[in-house]
Structure 1
Amino acid sequence: MVSFKKRCDNSLFIHTSSDFQLYVLVYVDDIIVTGSSPSIVSKVIKDLSTTFALKQLGKLDYFLGIEVKHLSDGTLLMSQTKYIRDLVARANMDTTKSMPLPMARNRKLSQEGNDIFEDTTFYRSIVGALQYATITRPDIAFSVNKVCQFLGKPLQSHWTAVKRILKYLQGTISFGLTIRKAHNHTPLALSTFCDADWASDIDDRKSTSGAYILTKPLSNSQFMSLRNQLQVKDYFNMLKEPSSSEGNIREPFSSD
């Protein structure tokens, strides 16, 4: 008999031993069983079948709006194509032109204004659905977080920002996350970049910080290329530079 432990998520059951790892994810009557030992996975499914009426659907291909494709090299591609398509249609945006980015650079949204968006319930419904789409689309996480800050009193300018996110999703509807097999003999290497916009919120002057984490090492050329794309400045060299005038405060990183 395999025993499980619940850690943070009450729906996720985990068993870890020196021989294998096993995960069981339960949501109402949908269950995912996976692990490092196919024989143990089959045994758990058989044991569950003796107690519950189960219908085995084979390899995972769809779960709570998330589509899973099994590629020939063992890679899993997770996307929400149908979910996003239905969301765009619900917002009456399925025939509009797509956008290359989910939000314009240096776009400033404020809670102050008189252009009230009348259908507050509709705004909250669409933005709430966009939050779920960030599961496989982390590229819209920042933009969605920004429009979520105005659920109490949305303005037309906020809805315009929401429509841009939807237009971006429409043009990138097949995008998703890839999960590849890890090589046990290769140590996991992390490369992290972080930045802050330094009190750029025009309402309360709070800062927004962000991080970009890679789970594989970068070559020197790749590192410098990404560094230049993110427009990261060298903080220590900037401290050595003379100030152009007294009282001039230099930002250690760019606001991009």
Structure 2
Amino acid sequence: MSLESLKDFKPGPLEFYRKKASFNWKKLKTVLDTPELVNYKDEIVEALEKFPEFERNFYTETLDEKRRICARQNHIVKTLPLLSTENLLPNMKKFALCNSLLTLISPDALIKYTASVQLFVNAIISLGTKRHRHFIEESNDGKIHGAFCLTEVGHGTNTKRLETTATYDVETKEFIIDSPTFTAAKCWSGGLGQTASVVVVMAQLIVNGERKGIHGFVAPIRDPKTLIPYPGVIVGDLGEKIGLNGVDNG
């Protein structure tokens, strides 16, 4: 990559100080990032610039507006081939670059994307089998929105003490997932508040009355078209927060 191929910064308030630099920032750029990563970053920026959802707003949005914008941004990021899981996972530098770039463009969209793709999808990739593959494909296509449910009201950082259980029913050949107490309730999961239709729930596996440790379970919680919770599912919205209000924590 030649230094001339690196684009100059657009004129702005930092232009005066950039000219005072004692080094050539383009040379430094080629040391810190490979030509491949520099080109990849430019491709992402050019792709996202085409969408009005990523234009900066200079007014205060309502909570609903923030979430609607963030949901659309997340859908764009999820379905953009440049940012697909298949494209990012083989190259962890691309993975890190994607995260740092989205942090600058839209922190809310990054967190929502992290919850629905990097946590939900990657959990299925790591823990699932071929019969779970369709969840990954449906998520990548934007047909479902996923969430990863680990944190509980009462467990703190001690994941071995999770209270949510998944009890195997021998007669029905089903797992009955239950949070029996308030402290067992899953909380803070990004996307769980309004938009997630499928979740990966981390729970204590119980078979024949014996605890078998923490396992992951894929559980549908909402109709993907209406987003109405299924019978037997109690789900809540944590509401407005001090920041990242585009993310519907639940």
TM-score (norm 1): 0.29
- Which structure has the bigger radius of gyration? 1
Q: Which has the higher contact order (CA 8 A, sep 6+)?
A: 2
TM-score, with structure 2 as normaliser: 0.30
- Bigger fraction of residues in helix: 2
